[in-house]
Amino acid sequence: MRISVRDVGAAKVVEVEGEVDLSTSADLRRTLLETLPDVARLALNLGAIRYIDSSGIATLIEVLKRSQHLKKEFVLFGLSPAVQEVFRLTHVVRIFQVFQTEQEALGTS
């Protein structure tokens, strides 16, 4: 799994590529929780994720709850087919703000 973070105005975009499972979800968790306090909006690109398991979904839920506590926006965009399937199986899509594109996720479209 590869993670990168870039600034887009007052927001940050986190890009994740590869597989998120029990062996990698801690790295994703650390990056997201460390980045969140510094921005008004954190957007996570899930388009290049080939695999995500329940530990990855649990990480996203934890970051969402932290963002609500800190009064920050945590949004997702570009869900890959693998991510969409796991969201469907776990019925969690309704708790997140999900967008198709980065522009929509950042409110710049």
Residue 40 in the binding site for another protein (CB under 8 A): no
The site that binds another protein (CB under 8 A) totals a number of residues, namely: 25
Instruction: Determine which residue in the list 31, 59, 72, 77 makes contact with another protein, applying CB under 8 A.
Output: 59
Q: What are phi and psi of 2, to 5 degrees?
A: -120, 135
Q: At what angle do helices 25-35 and 54-70 cross, to 10 degrees?
A: 10
When asked if residue 54 is in the footprint of another protein (CB under 8 A), the reply is yes
Cβ at position 89, least distance to another protein in Å: 5
Q: Are 3 and 31 in contact (CB under 8 A)?
A: yes
Please report the sign of the dihedral spanned by the C-alpha atoms of residue 5, residue 34, residue 81, residue 11. Answer: negative
Query: Least distance (Å) from another protein to the CB of residue 45?
Result: 20
Whole-number Å distance between alpha carbons of 61 and 67: 10
70 binds another protein, rule: CB under 8 A: no
Longest dimension (CA), the chain: 36
Kindly list the residues in this chain that would bind another protein in the complex (CB under 8 A).
Answer: 19, 21-23, 51, 53-55, 57-59, 61-62, 64-65, 81-82, 85-86, 89-92, 94-95
